[in-house]
Each structure stands twice: as C-alpha cells, then as structure tokens.
Structure 1
Amino acid sequence: MSDALRADALLADVARTGRGRLKVFLGAAPGVGKTYAMLQAAQAQLRQGVDLRVGVVETHGRAETEALLAGLPQQPLRRTDYRGMQLTEMDLDGILARPPKLVLVDELAHSNAPGSRHAKRWQDVQELLEAGIDVYTTVNVQHLEALNDQVRDITGVQVRETLPDWVLQEADEILLIDLPPRELLERLREGKVYVPEQARAAIDAFFSQTNLTALRELAMQTAAARVDADLNRRYRQRGLDAPAVRGRLLVGIDGDHQAERLIRHASLVAQRRHLPWSVVHVDTGGARSEDVRARLQAAQQLAERLGGEVVTLREDSVARALVQHAEARRASLLLVGRSRLRLRRRLFGRGLAERLLNLAQGLEISVLDTEVDARPPSPRARQGARLLDYGLAVVAAVAAAALAWALSHMLALPNISLVFLAAVLLVAVRSSLGPALLCAGLTFLAYDFLFIPPTLSLTIARQEDVLTLLFFLLMAALTGNLASRQRRQLEALRDTQVETGQLLDLSRKLTAATDRQAVLNVAAQQFGAWSDLEICLLSRGRDGVWKVEAGVQRLLVDQERAAAEWSWQHDQPAGLGTDTLPGGRWWWLPLSAEEGPLVLLGVSPRDEAPLPASRRRLLAALGQPLAQALARAQLAEELEAARLHGETEQLRSALLASVSHDLRTPLTAMRGSIDSLLALGEAIPLEDRRELLEGTRDEAERLDRYIQNLLDMTRLGHGGLKLARDWVAPGDIVASALQRLRPVLAPLNVETRVPDALPLLYVHAALIEQALVNVLENAARFSPSRGRLRVLVEADDEELRFAVSDQGPGIPPEERERIFDMFYTAARGDRGGQGTGLGLAICQGMVGAHGGRVSVGEGLEGRGATLTLHLPLHPQPRLEEE
C-alpha cells in the first residue's frame, strides 16, 4: 500500500476536526421506527449530561413517539406566512445563537418553506455541522437522489423531496432501522403509522409487500456500501492492503430526456464499485433548442449535486472524443445511453455504442437502455433549422435552377451540375445540415426536371442518367454535410477563442494592476462588457458594513443581503439559481484566498433568469485570477505598511540614540549646579550663585531646544514634519555645531574655512545644525588623536556645500553607496565602531527634506573621508535700506 493512500485516509479524518458529527437513522419506508430510535438515543445522551436540543421532530400523532419526546429541551419553531397559510420550520438562527452540543433534526430531505435561508433541510444541517454542532437525523432510502428512478420503477411514485447522496456518504455514522414488511403492514393496519383512512390508501398505493421488500433491499444495499467504504478507509489508515481505486467511470450525456436517469444510474454504479466518476458532454458545434439546453444544464447540475465531475469537450466525433478522454483520465468504465437512431443513421451510419466498441481497447462499455419518456417530445426545430434557413434553401435552389437554365446554352450538361452544387454549399455554410439536405433534394429534382432528357419531366429515359443523378445527389449531400460540419467546428472554435481571450485579456490587465483598487477596476471593466449582466463587487469591513467597491451602486433588499452574508461566511455561492436563498435577483460568488473571502462578486442577469452552468463556470474561472490578484495586492499593501512602520520605528530609535549625548550633557550640568546650591547654600558667594543659576537656565534652554529638535526629527521619520524655514547664515550654523561638540572636538586640530561673503540659506536651522553635528561627531569618533579635521563651506550659483574632512580609516569605495542605508555598518571606516549605524541615514533624511543630498569623497592628504552636505540656494531676500 502506498504512503499517499494512507496519508489521504488519515487526512480525511483530520479535515473533519472542528466539524460536528452527523448520525443518520436510515429506514426503508415511513413507520419503521427511525424517529423513535433517534429519540431513544437522545434520551440516553440526555441521561449522560449531554447538552442537546430538539430542532424539529415530526411525531405524526404517534403516542409512543410523543412519549419519548417528553423531557427533551426543544427549540421553538419559526412560523412564516405563505399565501395565507401558517408554516412552521426549524429555527436555525435560534439554534446557532445558543449552540448546544447535539441537535435532533427529523426528516432530512424535507423542503423548507419559501423565503427560508436554505431551500432544503439538509442544507440547514450542513450549517449546523460547520458550526461544530453534532446532529442526529432521519431519512428514508427513497429520498436519495441517485435512487429516484429506481424507486419510481418499483413503486410507480415519483418522489419529489430528494437529497444528494454525498450528504449520506459524509455522515460519521449510519444506523439502519429495519422492520420486516409484514410487521410494518400490521402497524399500518393498526393505525400506528397513519390514520386508518390514510393507511388503507397507503397500502393500496405505496405500502404493498412487494414494494416494501424492494425498498428494504435498497436500504440494506446503501448501508452495506457505506460499511464497506468505512472498512476500506480503516484499512488504509492502518497502512494495510486495501482495495485501491480502480480507474474512473465516465458517463456520456446529451440534452435528451434520458440524461438525468443516466446520471443517477452512473452515481449508483460509481458507489458500488467505489469509482470516482465524471459526466462528459461532447459539444459537436450543432445548434440546440432552448429545451435541449435546459435539459443539459439540469443534468449537469444533478451530476454536481451527486458528487460527479462535469466535463465539456468540443469535438466533431462524439465517440472519438469520449474514448480519448477516457484514455487521458485512465477510465475503466464508459456508460452511455442507447442511441435513438434516426432513419438516416440507420441507413448510412452506426450508433454510438457500435462506434465506441470499435475505437475502445481495454475499456468496458455499458449501454443503458431507458424507456421512452411518456412526456410529449420537445419541438424538433433547432436553432439552425429555423424557418428562415429552410426558406433560404428554397430560394437558393430556385436561383440555382434559373441560373443553370440561363447558362444551359453555353455549358455542357455535366458543368451545369456545378451550379447546383454551389447552391448547396452556400446554404450549408450559411445555415446547417438540415437546410443543406433540403437544398440538395430540391436541386436534385430541378436538375432532373429541367436538364435530364426528357426535359420538363421527372422521367429518366437513359440508364446512364440514373447514375449521373445518383452521383449528383451523393455529392450534394456530402458537400452540404462537410460544409455544415466545418461551420459547426468554426462556431465551437470561436466560442472557445472568446473564453480563452477573456482569460488572457483579464490576466494581461491584472499584471499591470498594482493595488487593490486597480484590480477591482479591472474586474469591473472586464465584466462591464457583458451587456446582459449587472455586476457589483462587495466587501465587508470589520464592523460588518457592506461597501460596493466597483460596479453597480444599488441598495440590496433584505433577502439579497442575507444571501450575500451567507456566501461570505461560508465561502460558497448563494442566491439566484442556487439552493441557498434563491429568491433574490443576484448570484453571489466569493473570491477567496487562504484566509477567506476577499471580495464578493455579485451577478444579476437583466432578464432575471438563473445563469446557465456554462456561464457560472466561466465566471468562476475568471474569478480565480481575480482572487489571486487581490491576494497579491493585499499582501503588497501589508508588506509596504510593515516596511513603513519598521522604518519609522527604526528612525525614531536612531534619532533618540543620536541625541542621547546632547540630552545627557545639559541634564548633568543642571544637576551639578542644583546639587551645589542645595549643599552649600549661603556659603556660596552671591556672584557664584548667580553664575550657577544662569548656567542652569542656559542649559535648560539648551535642553528645550534639543527636545524640540528631537520632536521635529521624529516627525521627519513618517512624513509629519513641517519645516519651519527661515533665513540663516551658514557661518552661524557652523559656529553653533562646533560649540555643541566642543568637548568631543577638543583632542583634534579643527580647521574651519567659512568665507565671509556667503549667501543665506532658507532652511530649518535646527535640522541642518543637527545634520552637521552628526557628520562632525562621526568624523571625530574615527579621527586619530591630534588629527586634522577640516570644515569647509563654499557656494556657487545653485547650491551651498558643508564639507567635513578627516584623517580616519576612511570608507571603502565599494561601500560608499550603502553607508546611508539604515543600520548598515561597515566592517571598517566611518560607519564602523560602536555607533548605531544610523547617523548618516538621519543626516541624509534631514538634508533630503530640504531638497538637498549628501555625498562621500576622499579625505585629507589621501586619508579618511569627506562628507559633503549639498543644500539648494533660493533667491536672496532684499534688505531694507535704513
């Protein structure tokens, strides 16, 4: 046994973690005791202290059932008005508001009242299971969708309330409640199932011993198949040899009346053989009536409900397409219905089954012979065989006859047939095969009547003319068939090209969309081209408020809003054309990432008809790249926000570190002065006390300036800084910076070159001063003792430069472009040592806020480095004359 199969079996149980457990009490018919057994199990759970609640239980007036119901906590039923009647249903929201551990839900296949959230009760149960609530429920075997046709054949009754078989397959436990038919009939006669009048009618119609025996066998087969599947899964979980999945079942369908019956039969075969199965429809490009399209769509939806895969192929040959797809999917069984051959197929071709047997090798072919549906057949007229197309065939035949008659004096008889063949070819290209064959028949008669001796008669005098006419008819039919086939293939190719083009166009537009709004605009533009649909894209904020981000701006009614809410919460389609809140005008499709829905796509057909399955699949296909683009845009926004937040925090920390010395120095001086005044008091001469107080005041003012500068530089980190510009002399900035760093620069030989005739700077003086302090302190830290340090100020017509040169280790050339990166510290050079690695990054931010820049060059006498602050010059102010 492969490790993959064992892993799949183990993961199947892991996937159910957090989901409620479903226990189904399965019976063959009403009255076998399903509800009674469920209530007995609930009473046992209640005695064990399990928090349970009765969601809905139908006792049908049975005294013994009502006795077991007593003492069980019950959820009040929800009452709704429908056409003047009071209907009661299970209160799903009430249960979810105060969720118990276990809920009892009777009659799983029940159809909910119109206006309910879900069309079926089994959908309510699925929502309870997803909320982590265990469910006990009951169901009869005749309500399984795959058995619907068999039940009708056995009992003669068409069961309308059905549920998909996968609901039963996903149940954690199935308990078969069995009662022999004789005992059930006795219960019926005693009035323990229905009242006596209803019991007699039931025995005569449905509850015959033959019917009950057949239904009992179906229930046992269903339970046995489930037990077998559970046993195989347990074997795989233990790593032991277990029957592996053998191939795949393919069922080929068309839009005829036997499609749904064929799908139900295929579902049963797949269950019994433990095979995955697919429903394949081969589109040959032929035109179809609306009835055929509707039946095909209904059959495909039924297959999806029963757990099958739906595949549509486009190919001219149905048999070849089915065989090739079976080989590609490694299918072992192909199931088709028996062809209802037309006369022309009986004469000129073979049925689908015969062609499959000739093409397939090693593939089991099963043919289901279904009875002819008793309903009246659909109209034979197809879209391509409308009255206009047949009129075209008649007109073309008459025109060809007239043209041939006009050319008969100039052309030989064999050449005249080419005129009629051209007419047949024209009709086949413009319409379909039916009109082409009609044109071929009319031209055949015209050719015989007008040109074959004796003319103006359908009589053929010469034997060789008979052969000529037959060849003409054969060539006309073949030509028309070939042209019609090419036209169908062209239409199918055109449809495929349109779908592929839409996907490619959407992908191309999404590659240029860099943010969420751009992606939504692309989606609105793409779907806005569909004139028969209204599109809107909804998102829900954390406060639960819906917002229309693109598309139609329209208020939603309560039912449509409820469908949107359900679709968002459960990450499944809802609304128009689905089984969940279908009463509105909108079909909702969540576009989701791994974390859940990102946006809700709403589609409203202008004709208010449900979307066909092909259109829904196309929307879902287009929704996948949209969801991926939205997830990519969201991730980019989160990364950008995280990057900006990180840079802001880094800059704040770096600013604090860079001015920590300037903050500690005045505080130390102030504390020393205050300690002296407190300790010595009047012993200090008045002049000295005054000097200490003035020094304290100066240091306090200096500290206030530092704090203000720190706040300004902190705002610089996230763009909140407003530059308080003023005109200032460059010499004053240099003098103030040197004064602040006087203790740091004391061991060095500092040389300043500040010309007298320098233009004024229009800057935030404190920031430029701090930038120059950072550069001077960086140079002093790595300069040797008694080394030279030069401060040079020069200007030209465009900018003014502060250049600080030292004789330190210098900065390697390969690292000069990176020294302004945050937290970058070179192994040696001006950015090495014990610094934070942010001083120059802060310096560049301060200068850059003024539109300037910082450059790096060689230092003094070939040693060290030179850092230059470049600041732009503004037009100088005019000085007022005294």
Structure 2
Amino acid sequence: MSGEPATRASPDALLALAKKEGRGHLKIFLGAAPGVGKTYAMLAAARSEIAGGRNVVVGLVETHGRRETDQMLDGFEVLARKPIVYRNQVMHEFDLDAARARKPGLLLVDEYAHTNVPGSRHPKRWQDIDELLRAGIDVWTTLNIQHLESLNDVVQKISKVRVRETVPDKVFDQADEVVLVDFPPDELLKRLAEGKVYVQDTAARAVENFFKPQNLTALRELAMRRAAERVDASLIERMQAQAIDGPWAAGERILACIGPDPVSPTVVRTAKRLADLMDAPWIAVTVERPGASLNSAARQRLDEVMKLAESLGAETQTLTGADLPAELLRFAKFENVTQIVVGRSRGGFFSELLRRSLPYELVRRTQDIAIHLVTRESDVSEPASGWLLHNRSPLRPLPFVYATLTVAAALAVSKVLTELMPIPNLSMVFMLSVLVSAINFGVWPAIYASVLSFFIYNFFFIPPLYNFTIAEPYELLALVIFLVVAIVTSAMAGRVRDQARVSAGRVRAMRRLYEFTRRLSGLATRDGIAEGAAGEIHASLARPVVVLLAEGDGLALTAAWPPEDALDTATMTAARWAYNHAEPAGADTGTLPIIPWYFVPLRIGDKALGVIGVAKDKDTPPLDSEARTLLDTLSEQTAAALERAALASEMVSARTATETERVRNTLLASVSHDFRTPLSSILGAATSLLSYGDKIGAAAKTDLLGQIKQETEGLDEMVRNLLAITRIDSGALELRRDWIDLREIVERVASAARRRSAPQRIDITMPPDLPLVRADAALAEQAIGNVVANAIVHTSKETHIVIDAQSGLSDITVRVTDNGPGIGSDILPHVFNRFVRGNGADDVHDGGEGTGLGLAIARGIMEAHGGSITVDSPVEGQPGARFVMVFPREDGAT
C-alpha cells in the first residue's frame, strides 16, 4: 500500500479521534510496584481539580490501611460500595450503576486491573471503566506495570511470580494520559520496613518474594520504558491527526528498505540489530513501481526477505510509487521514522558510474533522518541488484515490433499529407505514433518509437532528403526539441498507462473481494460457507483449496475444490498445527515445510474456527506476497462469515430454548390445574368405595365406578393430546397412512361423545358413496374428535351439532357446525393457537379437556396430512360456529 502524504491528516488517526468524541477522558497513574504512591498522587491531583471547581467523586479507592491515603480521602464524596454474595460471603465491589446515575465530571476508580467478584456485570474493572468512558464520564485510575499483559512473562522472569490480574495493552494504549509515579527502590523498601505499605508480617513476606532491590529496579525501568513508548505513540497520533510534518525524535523508529537484491537480507539483519540496540520498533518496506513486475525468481527472493523481516519482529509494508526515494521519504515522515537502513551492492567502476544511487538520493532529499548504508561486494553469479532494477519489467521484442509499425503508419500518413500542410506540422503525426506506443506498449517501446521517429522524420522530410545531413541549424534545433518532447511525452504517457493499469488491478481486486463477501453473506450454514469459500479461493489463486473446520477437539474436512475426500496424516498434522498455534504451516513456512499444502488459520479474535489450505506441488511456484495477502484477506472474510453463521445459529437456538421453556412453563401451569380436577374426582370416588363399600348399594357403586372410568378416559385423552403436541413440535409426528372411510371415523367420534353423556344432539349427514381417503385413522379421529369436543364444551345442552361431509375432485371436506353462541371476534383469529382458552360457554375452549391444545393439535394433524382446517363464526348470518376440515384424497403431505 502507499504511504499517506505527510501533509495530509491520516484518515485512521482522524477516525480514532472521531471515535473518542463523546467518550470520557482516561488518565492512568502508572507505577512500578505497590506502595510507590499512585493512589496518593491521584487523590492529590484530584484535590487540585476540586479547587478548580470540578465535580469530583470517588467511585472506589483502596487505602490498604495506609494512614496518609486515608487522610487524603477526607472531603471527597465517596460512592457506597455494592454488596455481592459469593460463596456465602458478602463482598463489596464498585457500584457501576450508582456511578453512571451520579455521572460526575471526574470519577476516581482505583486498581484498573482488579478482577470483579463473579456475578458482577463485567469480569474486570477495566471493563467497568470502559463503560463509564463510553457514557462520557472522565475517569482516573491506577495501575502497576506488572499488570500489563505484554509484560506478564517478563515480570514473571524478574520476580518469579505469575501475575494473574492483567490489562490488555490495547486498553492501556487507549488512555488519553499516562502519569508515571516514580519512587526510588531504596525509599520504597524503607517505607515497606516502616509498615507504610503492608502490615509487618505481610511486609516481611513481600520483601522475601517480590520486593527485592533488583526486582524493583527492573520493574522501575520497565515502567519508565513503557511510559516513554506511550508518549511516543501519542505523539505520532497527534502528528498524523494534525498533519504535522515529521519526524520528531521523541523516540527512535527504524525503517529498512528491502528488495530482491542479495544485500537485502543483510539490510534486514542490520536493522534488527540497530532496533535491539536502541530498543526501537522497526518497519521493513519494499516499493513496487506501477505497471512493473518481477520474474518468479526475484519475487521468490523478495518474499524470502519479507519473511525474514517478519520472523525478526518487523512490521512489513509494500508501497507503490514510481519515484522510490520520494515514496520512501513520504512514508518515513508519515510513520515518524528517525533512521533508515538501505543497502547497496558494490560492483565495477562503470556499474557504479551508471547506476542511480538510492542512498545518495535519500541523503540529498532529507535533512531530518539518519541514513545507514549497508554495502556488499557484488557477485557475477548473483542477479543484478539495486533499486534501479527493482520491479523492472522484462523487455519483450513484440511491443517494439508494434512500435515500429506505428511509426511506419505515421510515415505513410505524413507522405499523404505532405502536399496539404507545412513540413513542421508533420511532426505532430509522429508525436501521435509515440503516444500510441506509450499508451499501448509502455515506456521503453515509446522511447524507442521517439528515437525512430527522430531519424525517419529527418531522413524523409528535412532537406536535403533521404540522408541524415541537416542543412540549417534551426532545423537541427527543431529536431532535438522534437526528440526531447517525444521522449518526455512517451515517459509521461507510459507512466499514466502504468498507473491506470495498477488502478484497474486494484479495482478488480476490490470487486473480487466484494463479490466474495457478498456471496458469503448469502450463505447461512457452516458447510455452505466453507464450500463457497473453497470455490472462490480456488478461482482467485488457481490452486486446489481445502477448508477444515473445528469439530469437537479436532478438525474435519468440510469443503474442497476440486472435491477431496481425505487428507493424509502428515497433512492433517500441519493443519492442526496451524489451527492450534494460529500461525501458517506447511509449504514455504518454517513449520513442516515438506507438506505440499500451505495452511492459514481461520480465527476471530482468540477464537479458532478452522484452517484453509492451498495446495503446492513441485511444479507450482510459491505463493508471492500479493497472493498471500489476498489469501489472508479472504480467510478473514471467511472467518467473519463463519462467526456470523455461528452467532445466527446460537440466536436461533437461544430463541428456540426460550420458546420451549415458555411453552413448558405454560403447559405445566395449564395441565397442573386440569389434571387436579379429574384426579380429585377419581380420588373421591375411590375413597368412597374403599371406606363405605359395604354400605353403598349396587347402583351407587356402579355410578362411582362409572365416574372413575369417565374421568380416567378424560385423563387418557388429555395425555394423548399432550403427546400429540409434543410430536408436532419436535417434527416426530409419523403418519401411518391407509385407505380409510371418514364415515366410520365420524361415527366413532359421535359414539364416544354420547358415551360421555354429551347433552347436545349430534346429527351426522354424510353421503353413502363418500370416497375413501388416504390418511392416518387414529390421528384423523383425534383431529375430528377435538373439534367435536370443542363444540360440546362450549355450547349449551339445547345446541344442535351437525357433522356433514362432501366430496370434491381431489379432497373431502368434513364440517362440524353448531348453532351455539359462536366465537367472539377477539378470539376468532387466534382460535388455533396453543393455550387459547375461553371463560365460559360464550367463548371457544378446545377439545383438549382444558389444556388449550385441542384445536392446535387438530391444525397440526391436518397440516401433516397436507390438508387444512378453518373456522367461520357466525355461520351464514346465524349464531354458531363452523369448523371446516379438508382431507386430500391422496398423499398430500408437504
């Protein structure tokens, strides 16, 4: 990518500033160890703020029994702590909600790295503070250097103590201000001995384990260094946001200029040693000229140098520009680089004389950056080195042939126009041929066309004709000017052509990435995303691709293009290494390089999702840096799509679980009441029989036994409905289809209703030649029975219920009509929903004996058969309700 001009504000820096708009200001008091006075310094500075009229509140301050700190709290408004019960103990934590409700101008919250008690909103206090900052509240806090995540291992080596509570560096780097609270180690040990840091027993153990002079000195140096780095980073952000021209030497930053030259590895190693010596960050960059390309050998050498730089800890960048020194200096100023390391191979006298010197140009054009020159003796067997040849396209003969033809065409046109215009004007025709050559064939063919046009124009049109002698001096001047203009024009036109090609290539790459992202966004499953990614990456890189996704504790081959059934054990070992270590593995890497696959991990943050593998056989060149960048980008998009699909699946699962829980609770609440009534009746009858059996007459016994039987059948019906709705919900409702006679089904339903002493009159009107239908007899009987039971429960004894049927071309319709009070207009749209229950004879109930499931079950059964059920109320302008059930004659299930 190209570096931003130093005179223009960085979009990234401006975006970072925009994100801070509305956020609170974070100030961190950083110390090397406990007891250096961070909290005391924070309170002292806060008193100054109060004196200036600022609204300051203490959210939480840990004094640890230190008398001086306790005294400093006098006069501050302190928020009450929030009690949280954890393992039968009451713990007191910072009250985040109270702080947000109070919303002071400045809030003091001690111990940035503190881990909250389980049950708090956030597991870490720095997350609490981040929420306060997002709410627009300024926060001051304290932090010891050993709690920084990146220094955790270093601190452990120094102190032999593993610090468990850490703060991510990116959170620390987002602080608006860092104040270093310094305290000499000898003075700190003296305070510790006097009991001003810990009580005596604790202090003695601290001296033995952590508070050793050498430990405190090393931690103090770490704190100073980290604070200096933070100041340097803040300075760069300010420079980029305000378009301030660098460099400002607040901290050293090193830039290594590399290419396919043999000297580049030496440049990289020299820059690394220089960075270690100065303890400075460093960047390795290479510059590509627009429209130019490297041959495969040079590309491989450049990739190897870039890998070397990355392995040594450098940040790598690829810039684009025609003027190498200007592009490098523009990037160096943008990144606030203070030292540049550049290489040069020493050759013979003439090569030194003719070669353009990049170090010389860098020294000539800058006064603020130190230039380090690394030299090496040139070897005849080595490829040509130097930035002059970097990215030079190979010269092919065909463009020069075409350039010759364009000049020949210009000659022919000029011969025709000789009689129509003055001779000097004919030079424009040759100029046009030069432009055509530049636009179509590049700079060198255009320069060749310029020189060729110079001689042809002189030979055919400048007197004396047909020789290269020039009679008049002014004609020589005109020819020289023509040649200069032609060469300059060809160079400019060729450069524009190259830049247009680069722009077109970038547009194609962006379009390809857009299409890739768009296609993945339309896929909702893991397997679909993996298959889509494999196909798109194969199309982009023209190599076999495999996608392995996490499954259990390992990886499973999910997609491949061309299709692949399995990978051998060695290849799977490389894939698992890339998955477990979040680094590329396999071909052209430092891990299992003999494997003929190059694997890159699929990760979102710290979450591993799988790997993508690209095949490499002995006949294919390694992936160049551009292809690897493309693969990394496509892998990131694939990981994002997989994470999106996983989140969508989790949301569906959570929604389903919530709905299932709601249905379960509703069902339990419903059936607990509806089971209780028949069970009470059965219990009462059974108790009467057991207690007074010898005193009860035969008729009374029969009545009690009949009551038990009737209530038991009702319970059985209720259980059947519950099982049916469960099978419908789980999709496990299996139909045992057979040819059945609906007249027999209706007769059984009516007989069952009469056995239950239904008071309504039930009439059946069905044609004798009613065709058979292919359906599940038991389920069809349950559906019709639930509808009839609904009519019985919600109509009076004077109601007339009619069941009729009629045959259509492809279905049979069964109607259950009553002349009762009908269904209320507010309930009618929801009559087939679960748990819709009426309050009396004027409302719909259901056929589920009070569970609110009967009509829902009827609808589920009808839909499983491929049929339907609807309801009308009133019926043909008269009170009542009519349920219409349509059974397809054949298998109509969908």
TM range (shorter): 0.5 to 0.7
Q: Which residue of 2 aligns with 1:615?
A: 627
Q: Is the 8 A contact 1:285 1:489 kept in 2?
A: yes
User: Given the alignment, which residue of 810, 818, 823 partners 2:824?
Assistant: 810
d(CA) in 2 for partners of 1:687, 1:601: 82
1:851 aligns with 2:862: no
1:632 aligns with 2:647: no
User: Given the alignment, which residue of 431, 442, 459 partners 1:432?
Assistant: 442
Q: CA deviation at 1:375?
A: 3.7
- Give secondary structure in 2 for the equivalent of 1:470: helix
Q: Which residue of 1 aligns with 2:135?
A: none
- Give secondary structure in 2 for the equivalent of 1:610: coil
Q: Which residue of 1 aligns with 2:316?
A: 310
Letter in 2 for 1:872: F
Letter in 1 for 2:362: A
Is the deviation greater in 251-260 or in 397-406? 397-406
Q: Is the 8 A contact 1:417 1:447 kept in 2?
A: yes
1:454-493 matches, cutoff 5 A: 454-493=464-503
Change (3 A) 1:256 1:335: same
1:386 aligns with 2:395: yes
Q: CA deviation at 1:236?
A: 9.5
Change (3 A) 1:243 1:620: closer
For residues 35-65 of structure 1, what are the alpha-carbon distances to aligned partners after superposition, in whole Å with 9 as ceiling and x for unaligned?
xxxxxxxxxxxxxxxxxxxxxxxxxxxxxxx
Q: CA deviation at 1:624?
A: 1.8
User: Given the alignment, which residue of 551, 555, 570 partners 2:581?
Assistant: 570
d(CA) in 1 for partners of 2:503, 2:857: 63
Q: CA deviation at 1:602?
A: 0.6
Q: Which residue of 2 aligns with 1:231?
A: 223
d(CA) in 2 for partners of 1:408, 1:225: 89
Q: Which residue of 2 aligns with 1:293?
A: 299
Q: CA deviation at 1:473?
A: 0.9
Change (3 A) 1:353 1:268: same
Q: Is the 8 A contact 1:536 1:601 kept in 2?
A: yes
1:76-91 matches, cutoff 5 A: none
Q: Which residue of 1 aligns with 2:453?
A: 443
Change (3 A) 1:731 1:434: closer
Is the deviation greater in 456-465 or in 267-276? 267-276
Change (3 A) 1:801 1:647: farther
- Give secondary structure in 1 for the equivalent of 2:530: helix
For residues 167-190 of structure 1, what are the alpha-carbon distances to aligned partners after superposition, in whole Å with 9 as ceiling and x for unaligned?
xxxxxxxxxxxxxxxxxxxxxxxx
Q: Which residue of 2 aligns with 1:603?
A: 614
For residues 603-630 of structure 1, what are the alpha-carbon distances to aligned partners after superposition, in whole Å with 9 as ceiling and x for unaligned?
0134343311221111111122222222
Q: Is the 8 A contact 2:287 2:320 kept in 1?
A: yes
Q: Is the 8 A contact 2:586 2:593 kept in 1?
A: yes
Q: Which residue of 1 aligns with 2:815?
A: 801
- Give secondary structure in 1 for the equivalent of 2:580: helix
Q: Which residue of 2 aligns with 1:162?
A: none
Letter in 2 for 1:297: D
Letter in 2 for 1:370: V
d(CA) in 1 for partners of 2:323, 2:464: 43
- Give secondary structure in 2 for the equivalent of 1:549: strand
- Give secondary structure in 2 for the equivalent of 1:517: helix
**Structure 1: runs of 5+ lacking an equivalent:** 11-128, 137-222, 358-362, 877-882
Change (3 A) 1:849 1:809: closer
1:180-199 matches, cutoff 5 A: none
Q: Is the 8 A contact 2:450 2:483 kept in 1?
A: yes
d(CA) in 2 for partners of 1:610, 1:346: 31
d(CA) in 2 for partners of 1:696, 1:724: 32
Q: Which residue of 2 aligns with 1:720?
A: 732
Q: Is the 8 A contact 2:407 2:430 kept in 1?
A: no
d(CA) in 1 for partners of 2:363, 2:782: 93
Change (3 A) 1:821 1:366: farther
Change (3 A) 1:279 1:875: closer
**Structure 2: runs of 5+ lacking an equivalent:** 1-22, 32-150, 159-214, 238-252, 346-350
TM-score, structure 1 as length reference: 0.60
Q: CA RMSD in A?
A: 5.5
Letter in 2 for 1:493: S
Q: Is the 8 A contact 1:250 1:331 kept in 2?
A: no
TM-score, structure 2 as length reference: 0.59
d(CA) in 2 for partners of 1:756, 1:648: 41
Q: Which residue of 1 aligns with 2:374?
A: 370
d(CA) in 1 for partners of 2:864, 2:557: 38
1:478-557 matches, cutoff 5 A: 478-530=488-540, 532-542=542-552, 544=554, 546-552=556-562, 553=564, 555-557=566-568
d(CA) in 1 for partners of 2:218, 2:464: 77
Is the deviation greater in 254-263 or in 715-724? 254-263
Is the deviation greater in 759-768 or in 574-583? 759-768
d(CA) in 2 for partners of 1:367, 1:463: 48
d(CA) in 2 for partners of 1:571, 1:396: 56
Change (3 A) 1:831 1:268: farther
d(CA) in 1 for partners of 2:270, 2:309: 11
Q: Is the 8 A contact 2:286 2:319 kept in 1?
A: yes
- Give secondary structure in 1 for the equivalent of 2:885: strand
User: Given the alignment, which residue of 603, 607, 624 partners 1:592?
Assistant: 603
Q: CA deviation at 1:503?
A: 0.6
Letter in 2 for 1:384: S
User: Given the alignment, which residue of 229, 235, 242 partners 1:246?
Assistant: 235
Q: CA deviation at 1:408?
A: 8.4
Q: Which residue of 2 aligns with 1:255?
A: 259
Change (3 A) 1:761 1:601: same
For residues 520-573 of structure 1, what are the alpha-carbon distances to aligned partners after superposition, in whole Å with 9 as ceiling and x for unaligned?
232132123246411111235326463343324164344322111111222322
d(CA) in 2 for partners of 1:539, 1:533: 19
Change (3 A) 1:390 1:874: closer
State the identity %.
Answer: 29
d(CA) in 2 for partners of 1:609, 1:496: 23
d(CA) in 2 for partners of 1:657, 1:769: 27
Q: CA deviation at 1:478?
A: 1.3
Q: Is the 8 A contact 1:278 1:311 kept in 2?
A: yes
Q: Is the 8 A contact 2:271 2:341 kept in 1?
A: no
d(CA) in 2 for partners of 1:538, 1:381: 38
Q: CA deviation at 1:855?
A: 3.8
Aligned length: 655
Q: Is the 8 A contact 1:536 1:551 kept in 2?
A: yes
d(CA) in 2 for partners of 1:312, 1:827: 76
